[in-house]
Amino acid sequence: MRVRTRAMVAAGVALAAVAAFGVYLGSREIVGKLPLPTVQGCTVQADGQVNLNPEQMANAATIAAIGVQRKMPEQAVVVALATAFQESRLENLAGGDRDSIGLFQQRPSQGWGTPEEIRDPRYAAKKFYAALKKVKGWEAMRVTDAAQRVQRSAFPEAYEKWADESAVLTRALLGNATGAVACTVGSEPLLRGAAAAAALTHGLNLDWGKLQTTVPAELTGLAVPAANLQTGWRYAHWLVSHARDNGVKRVSFENLEWTADDGTWAPVENGSANSALVVAEVYAEG
């Protein structure tokens, strides 16, 4: 009786296993036929690779641009990005420890500004760079030591783990790499037409200072003069980084173009891009 019971149990287990395997195969077949959602994200490749979501990418690009606008050296941008990585994962947080706010988790009670000011990524970045500039000898310090002199964190070594990622981002966002920022932003832009072009121009001027942009006659968007290749790639990478929120469809520079359709840089078809201009096209009115 015991042997028969064991046999029946074994047979039941076998049948269950077969059924489960059938469900597994069936589910694989069904999943394979379903359209997969487009994953929005950005890949930065510049002697290393960093993957970010669109919000993180836009914030990183703004932090880097403000560093250039403030005439800070490249290492300052590395320190700023490593700090924002650690404090907020490059996301503009509404709150944090005690009254900490924003990208750098700055505290109104410690004199960093009002909550509304600190939630502005540009204001927060400017305040960080101003504080870093006051640290004597910060240029020769490790990333984590320079950041700690500004932040006064309970975890002074924590910033160092982001040093490599921040160096990759800095190389790309300061224009020391070609076609290094590629973002997949989806096919439904938040803004279109004149509103998109106006928002893009406004953001560009806030981050980089007043630029002499022009409006291309053949498309809706803007063109930014590039004094050299490094400057051009700074603007090009910034435009791709801010593509999702500003309805950017295409960015072209130096015989390459990024398109929102496939999210990558490729050679320009049927002609060449102007190496003296960075051109951004936004989605037309739908």
pLDDT at position 97 is 82
Q: How many residues does the chain have?
A: 286
Residue type, 45: Q
Mean pLDDT per segment of 10 residues, for the chain of length 286 residues?
Answer: 40 41 34 43 97 97 98 98 98 89 96 97 98 98 98 95 98 98 88 95 96 90 95 98 96 95 89 80 90
Provide CB contacts within 8 A for 257, sequence distance 6+. Answer: 250, 251, 265, 266, 267, 268, 273
pLDDT at position 273 is 63
CB atoms within 10 A of CB 268: 14
b/e map 242-259, b = 16+ CB within 10 Å: bbbbbbbbbbbbbebbbb
**Local structure of 78: helix, strand or coil:** helix
Report CA-CA distances (Å) from 96 to 33, 92, 107, 149. Answer: 43, 11, 9, 20
Gap between the Cα atoms of 146 and 20, Å rounded? 56
Q: Please give the model's pTM, rounded to 2 decimal places.
A: 0.85
The order of strands in the sheet holding 277-282 is: 221-225, 277-282, 248-253, 256-259, 265-267
**Local structure of 12: helix, strand or coil:** helix
| Burial (Cβ within 10 Å: 0-12, 13-18, ≥19) of residue 151 | buried
pLDDT at position 272 is 59
